[in-house]
Amino acid sequence: MAFTGTRAVPAAAAAAAAATLRGAPVAEPREAIRVDSHLDGGQERALADDVLDGLTRPFKELPPKHFYDARGARLFDRICELPEYYPTRAERAILEQRAGELAASTGAVELVELGSGTAAKTRVLLDALHAAGTLRRYVPFDVTESMVRDSARRLTAEYPGLQVHGVIGDFERHLDRVPRAVGPRIVAFLGGTIGNFPPGSRRRFLRQLARLLGDEDFLLMGTDLVKDPRVLEAAYDDAEGVTAEFNRNVLLVLNRELGADFDPADFDHVALFDREHEWIEMRLRARRELRVNVADLDLLVHFDAGEELRTEISAKFTPERLTGDLAAAGMQMAAWMTDPEALFALTLSQRS
Ligand code: AVJ
């Protein structure tokens, strides 16, 4: 059963009431913040299923979504600051350069952001929509409730009149819970996370995204681009070893959530660019023969010495590949925007 909670922030209502008393023009004294939660224990089941499925295959594999517990999220934030990890900086630079244009050309009154996290890059877009005078609503969608609530509080304080309708959920399962549009909107899927999907499910997911778009709406998506493999591999194997820690962190998640007894020190971090598929693969390589018990699943997992567990693919794009994926999902590119070095791309697409 899905739990749906809606809580409002009384302070906002009080402020609206006070404004009305002072005679300020408050058109509709609605609550500024609403948050719906759709997490129902399905997350834990998903982890158990993924582990059972992924660790009993001939080529062991875990989906990257399980990296992001509190520690994993902190490590990812550190990755974004690393000199080798250019995607975050490049995407931000594009946003800063093009946000005004995006606001003007879309006329968006609302921003839906999938995987909003701390909403750091969002501000650039919200600023532009606010400056254009169109901004009405922000819909952050994330699995982490505290992040959605914190950004809702900060952003409603910063942008008077902004409505925030947060959705707590897994965007692979709960996209249909995104509220109905209040006007032309931008659906943002930033950071290059689309690269985590293998090609088949990538197109399936893009089709689901297309369903969120009406005739006046746009998908704004960030994608990392194909480039010199040395640059790519360095971005996923930094000198400081933060990405290695991030990679091994998934083993600690399994220890905590499923009673597994992994010792992260038994695994080496591996990052390599697969030139045929044009994606980065991250793996954990067993340093010796291992037997790992996953108590909650009654599962004993054997690793040969040197055996690898794939923990992430991060696909890199060319304009042609992206155009093909979008077309297969019933969308059409309206704008292609890159940073000066063409490291990363932001694209605006519409339903075709
Ligand atoms: C959050 C999926 C976009 O693939 O670059 C960073 C995750 N993994 N370093 C990426 C990640 C290793 C990141 N995404």
Give per-residue pLDDT as tens, 98-151: 999 999 999 999 999 998 777 778 899 999 999 999 999 999 999 888 889 999
Which residue(s) pair with 187 in the sheet?
A: 112, 219
The arithmetic mean of pLDDT across residues 4-10, rounded, is 43
Tokens of 288: 């010796």
| pLDDT score, position 143 | 87
Q: What is the pLDDT of residues 14-62, one digit of tens each?
A: 554 554 455 555 444 468 999 999 988 777 788 999 999 999 999 999 9
| pLDDT score, position 75 | 96
Nearest-angstrom CA–CA distance, 286 and 119 = 36
Q: Bin 259: left if φ > 0, else alpha if -120 < ψ < 50, else beta.
A: left
Q: What is the pLDDT of residues 72-82, one digit of tens each?
A: 999 999 999 99
Nearest CA to ligand 1 atom 2: 193
Tokens of 27: 């058109």
Nearest-angstrom CA–CA distance, 103 and 101 = 5
Mean pLDDT rounded to a whole number for the chain: 92
Query: Which helix (DSSP H) or strand (DSSP E) does residue 349 occupy?
Result: strand 344-351
CA 248 to centroid of ligand 1, rounded, Å: 14
CA 62 to centroid of ligand 1, rounded, Å: 14
Contact of 118 with 109, CB cutoff 8 Å: no
Determine whether the shortest distance from the Cβ of 195 to ligand 1 is under 6 A.
yes
Nearest-angstrom CA–CA distance, 42 and 287 = 33
CA 282 to centroid of ligand 1, rounded, Å: 10
Determine whether the shortest distance from the Cβ of 110 to ligand 1 is under 6 A.
no
Contact of 148 with 119, CB cutoff 8 Å: no
Nearest-angstrom CA–CA distance, 248 and 287 = 13
Determine whether the shortest distance from the Cβ of 196 to ligand 1 is under 6 A.
yes
Contact of 282 with 271, CB cutoff 8 Å: yes
Determine whether the shortest distance from the Cβ of 314 to ligand 1 is under 6 A.
yes
Q: What angle is formed at CA 114 by the lines to CA 16 and CA 136, rounded to 5 degrees?
A: 30
pLDDT band at 2 (very low <50, low <70, confident <90, very high): very low
